[in-house]
Amino acid sequence: MSKNALELRVNPQRMGVTFASGKGTIRVYSANATSIAFCILDAENPRLVSQTIQLARGDGDIWEATSSKIKPGVKYALRAEGPDGPRHGFNPSLNLIDPYARAVERLSAREYYCVASVDDFDWQGAAKPETPLDRTIIYEAHVRGLTRGNTELPDDIRGTYAALGHPSTIKHLLEIGVTSVELLPIHMFISEPRLMNMGLINYWGYNTINFFTPQPRYATSGAREKGPQDVVRELKTAIRELHKAGIEVILDVVYNHTAEGGGGGLTYSFRGLDNSSYYRLDERGWYQDTTGCGNSLDFSNPHVVQLAMDSLRYWTEVMQIDGFRFDLATTLARDASNTFDSNHPMLHAMQSDPIVSTAKLIMEPWDVGLGGWQTGNFPDRFSEWNDRFRDSVRRFWLTDLADARNSGNHWNGVADIATRLAGSQDLVGGGSTGPMATVNFITAHDGFCLKDLVSYNVKHNQINGESNRDGTNNNFSFNFGVEGETQDPAIRAQRRKAARNLFGTLLFSAGVPMVTAGDERGKTQLGNNNAYCQDSAVSWMNWDLSRAQLDVQTTFSYLTKLRQENPSLRPTNFGSWERLEVGLDRIRWYNASGEIMTNEDWNSTETRTLQRLTEHLDEDGTENRTLLIIHGAEREIKVQLPKDTEFERYEILWNSAFELPPTHLKEANKADALTVSGASTVLLRALREPSK
Residues labelled as active-site residues: 327, 364
104-108/49-54 β-pairing: unpaired
How far is C-alpha 154 from the geometric centre of its chain's CA atoms? 28
Angle of helix 345-352 relative to helix 302-313, nearest 10 degrees, comes to 30
Distance between CA atoms of residues 244 and 682, nearest Å: 36
Helix and strand element counts for the chain (H, E): 18, 25
In this structure, which amino acid lies at residue 673?
A
> Would you give the end-to-end CA distance of the chain in angstroms?
63
Q: Is 630 helix (H, G, I), strand (E, B) or coil?
A: strand
- Closest to 214 (Cα-Cα) out of 195, 236, 181: 236
How far is C-alpha 130 from the geometric centre of its chain's CA atoms? 17
Distance between CA atoms of residues 584 and 572, nearest Å: 8
The per-residue b/e assignment along 110-143, b for 16 or more CB within 10 angstroms, e otherwise, is eebbbbbbeeebeeeeeebbebebbebbbbbbbb
- Closest to 305 (Cα-Cα) out of 258, 358, 251, 344: 344
Residues in the chain: 692
512 and 438 in contact (C-beta within 8 Å)? yes
Spell out the residues 6+ positions from residue 335 whose beta carbon is closer than 8 angstroms to its own: 300, 341, 344
164 and 242 in contact (C-beta within 8 Å)? yes
539 and 142 in contact (C-beta within 8 Å)? yes
Q: How many CB atoms lie within 10 A of CB 478?
A: 24
* Order of all β-strands in the sheet with 35-41: 49-54, 35-41, 75-81, 111-115, 104-108
DSSP secondary structure of 95-115: -B--TT-S-EEEEETTEEEEE
Question: What kind and span of H or E run contains 162?
Answer: helix 161-164
Q: How many CB atoms lie within 10 A of CB 678?
A: 15
170 and 247 in contact (C-beta within 8 Å)? yes
Spell out the residues 6+ positions from residue 178 whose beta carbon is closer than 8 angstroms to its own: 137, 138, 139, 247, 515, 560
Q: How many CB atoms lie within 10 A of CB 383?
A: 26
DSSP secondary structure of 282-330: -TT--B--SSSSS--B-TTSHHHHHHHHHHHHIIIIIS---EEEETTGG
Distance between CA atoms of residues 295 and 287, nearest Å: 6
Distance between CA atoms of residues 15 and 306, nearest Å: 10
Distance between CA atoms of residues 689 and 353, nearest Å: 49
146 and 169 in contact (C-beta within 8 Å)? yes
Question: What kind and span of H or E run contains 513?
Answer: strand 512-516
Distance between CA atoms of residues 276 and 287, nearest Å: 10
- Closest to 611 (Cα-Cα) out of 582, 638, 574: 638
383-386/360-363 β-pairing: parallel
108 phi/psi in degrees, rounded to 5? -155, -175
